[in-house]
Amino acid sequence: MDIRRYLEEKKTVVDARIDEVLPRAADGIYAAMRYSLFAGGKRLRPILAIAATEAVGGSPKDILSVASALEFIHTYSLVHDDLPAMDNSDFRRGKPTSHKMFGDATAILTGDALLTMAFELMTAPEATKGLDPRVLQQVVCEVARAIGTEGMIGGQVADLDYAGRKPSAQELEHIHQHKTAALIRTSAWTGAVLGDSSPGQVEAIRGYGEKVGLAFQIVDDILDEVGEEGRLGKTPGGDREMEKATYPALFGIEDSKNKAKILIGSAVGELKEFDERADALRGIAEFIVARDF
């Protein structure tokens, strides 16, 4: 399977849906939402949901609205994390961040609007006709949990708490598991549970997502240390300057790379009972760890 081609194809489908649901506007809140949504995101979370639903024989079309909502959520988290009161980042993916473009007030409201619209997209009756409302309810609840105080927000709280002092390995894993892995795990899980899956399959894909999510954050930390500026879209070493908790800071580059590779091997191992319809999930896992080093 040509995983780069698969990722490109699915990105096109997700981009088209995002473009379709978001009104076009020259300025105002929709322009700000569109700016951040189309600032170069790879659509990893929606694509994981789609690949997971394919792995269990589900219909990618049926879950496209829910999958796209995951990108709205991811984008909201970036817009708010970048704010001056939070990480105070001026650039992301080579472009000025939302508050640099539109001001702090609009950036706060843009994040709020992206998060709110995600829940609208997940539940819009027209766009979710093929799904069982009871399972969809479970998905909305699980997504909310994954990005709430026991998930992504909890991770961001811990991350801000630790800036300036060195967390233990356990604390660092806690931060990464919550801040990044929870939504990535739940994205894969969402695709699986909305497909025609068995409980065993759902559990396997949840395990896969958990490990892929953690590996993804470790690779991100490594790239922040060693990446070239042009490729990264931001100044390398930014995390270190902020004295942020990262894997390379705690374990060094080599051990971090090894940890990521072991996690990816283990993630692919979770899929051993799946047939070739899970090849995209396998390819995505390997692509994450291969992508830039």
Residue 26 binds to a second copy (criterion: CB under 8 A): no
**Does the protein bind a second copy through residue 183 (CB under 8 A)?**
no
Give strand pairing partners of 92: 95
Q: Which of 159, 160, 142 is nearest to 70 (CA)?
A: 142
DSSP state string for 171-184: HHHHHHIIIIIHHH
Tell me how far, at minimum, the Cβ of 15 lies from a second copy, in Å: 20
Q: Which one, 149 or 168, has the nearer CB to a second copy? A: 149
Nearest to a second copy of 141, 290 (CB atom): 141
| Binding characters for a second copy, 239-278, by CB under 8 A (x = yes) | ----------------------------------------
Residues 111-150 contacting a second copy, CB under 8 A: 111-113, 115-117, 119-120, 122-125, 128, 133-134, 136-138, 140-141, 144-145, 147-149
Number of residues in contact with a second copy under rule CB under 8 A: 44
Near a second copy in 37-76, by CB under 8 A = none
**Interface with a second copy includes 94 (CB under 8 A)?**
no
CB of 246 to a second copy, least distance (A): 19
29 binds a second copy (CB under 8 A): yes
Q: What is the dihedral of CA 48, 94, 4, 21, to 10 degrees?
A: 50
- Element housing 28 (H / E): helix 28-37
Residues facing residue 91 across a β-bridge: 96
Q: Does 109 bind a second copy (CB under 8 A)?
A: yes
Compute the C-alpha angle 36/38/43, nearest 5°: 105
Minimum CB–partner distance for residue 266 and a second copy (Å): 29
For 77-121, the DSSP string reads: HHHHHTSTTTT--SEETTEE-HHHHH-HHHHHHHHHHHHHHHHHH
What tokens were used for 60? 């990618």
How crowded is residue 255: how many other Cβ atoms within 10 Å of its Cβ? 12
CA contacts within 13 A on the Cβ side of 43? 25
Q: How far is the CB of 90 from a second copy (least distance, A)?
A: 16
Sites of contact with a second copy (CB under 8 A): 28-30, 33, 80, 83, 85-86, 103-106, 108-109, 111-113, 115-117, 119-120, 122-125, 128, 133-134, 136-138, 140-141, 144-145, 147-149, 153-154, 156-157, 160
